[in-house]
Amino acid sequence: MNRWNRIIPAAFMMYTIAYIDRTNFSLAIPALQREFGLAAGGAGVAAGVFFLGYVLFQMPGGYLAQRWSAKRFIFCALLVWGAFATLCGFAQSYSQLLIYRFLLGVGEGGVWPATVVLLSNWFPPEERARANGYWVVCQPVAILVAGPLSGWLLDRYDWRMMFIVQGVLPLFYAAIWWWAVEDHPPDTSLARQIPPTPTDFAFLRHRPVLILAAMGFAFACGAYGLLMWLPSAIRALGVRDNLTVGLLSGLPYLFAVFGAIYNSRHSDRKNERYWHVAVPCLVAGTALLASALWNVPLAGLVLVCVTATGIYAAIGPMWALMSELVPKGSAGVSLGLINALANLGGLAGPYIIGVLHDRTASFLPGIIFVSGCLVTAGLLTIRLRAYSAPSR
């Protein structure tokens, strides 16, 4: 099996589907506000409650992937999250929507650290920024695909049909995943990178793990805050057609694809992680703030494109750095904890932006908040340079 041509595409398609089912909610927000009589804060809760469920299975998912099977865990997750993504389209009340979004998060919880463990099994450290970078390109690609598709489904049908159509995708893909992926390479020269030592909780006293979690939280606040509210901000400029909103929302992520690939390759070539994470985060935060303060729509769109490029350029080296800094004997659980705490930012970011918009009738305070989060993530990455990787 060629690991670059089989493992990466399989993981890419799997998480593309996951990201579509997670982020299509952003385009449905106005319709859901009308349907259930929600203010922006209530819509932010519905967007963010996904992450409460999501964080619950981060550590168990990482543990099961490391000790049992990443392939089997993700196969089960595909079936569970597909079921609840579809049920979101059948919600008859706001409370039901919250329950289904929460359980969708439970279904997807653990998939990220499980995939990081899988890639660690197949790719040695000197290739991991590229492996992670090629894989996480699925996120901007998912937005590029989901934006127009979700907009068309909303215009042609409604938000219910959008959730149902996109929710059945993982149910079909589960069979392909089972066929395409194995947990470990047959070549013993690419033996498992994570030794089967007993897992304990000593990693909780490992300071880089705590800094990585704080960095991930700030980064997720910024990234998901922008992702969830960008379509609404575009509508606030007077754009009403859902397909157009979807296209404009997806445009910044087209540039993000190239940023993710280039920066990941450059990080591996230079064998450097810290600045390949910190600089994109600092650039992203600064560009987003400038887009809000410079009241010129075209210039603002260009700067948002720079922001999205910076966000996704950072992710591949960021996860390569994380896999290098965490204690190897508890890598699955450590990565699960980091991603769990980080993705609480996925709850906090959209909620805080929604509350700020309700209180000020403007997206400017929320954009300033997101910008500060991204800059904070960059500064915390620089702080990590004081720590060397633990002994293997």
Over residues 71-126, the pLDDT tens digits come to: 999 999 999 999 999 999 999 999 999 999 999 989 988 888 888 888 888 888 77
- Does the pTM surpass 0.75? The reply is no
Domains of the chain: total: 1
Task: Tell me whether residue 62 is in a domain.
Answer: yes
Q: Which residues constitute the domain of residue 154?
A: 3-178+203-384
Task: Tell me whether residue 83 is in a domain.
Answer: yes
Are the C-beta atoms of 182 and 1 separated by less than 8 Å? yes
Instruction: Return mean pLDDT, the chain.
Output: 81
CATH number of domain containing 324: 1.20.1250.20
Q: How far apart are CA 79 and CA 170, in angstroms?
A: 7
Are the C-beta atoms of 198 and 325 separated by less than 8 Å? no
Q: How far apart are CA 83 and CA 174, in angstroms?
A: 12
Q: Which of residues 389 and 124 earns the better pLDDT score?
A: 124
Are the C-beta atoms of 88 and 163 separated by less than 8 Å? yes
Are the C-beta atoms of 263 and 280 separated by less than 8 Å? yes
Q: How far apart are CA 122 and CA 111, in angstroms?
A: 17
Q: Which of residues 327 and 24 earns the better pLDDT score?
A: 24
Task: Tell me whether residue 192 is in a domain.
Answer: no
* Beta-carbon count within 10 A of 135 CB: 28
Task: Tell me whether residue 188 is in a domain.
Answer: no
pLDDT per residue as tens digits for the range 362-374: 778 888 888 899 9
| φ, ψ for residue 196, nearest 5 deg | -80, 60
For residue 193, what pLDDT band results from cuts at 50, 70 and 90? very low
Task: Tell me whether residue 79 is in a domain.
Answer: yes
- Asked if residue 169 has pLDDT above 80, the reply is yes
- Asked if residue 178 has pLDDT above 90, the reply is yes
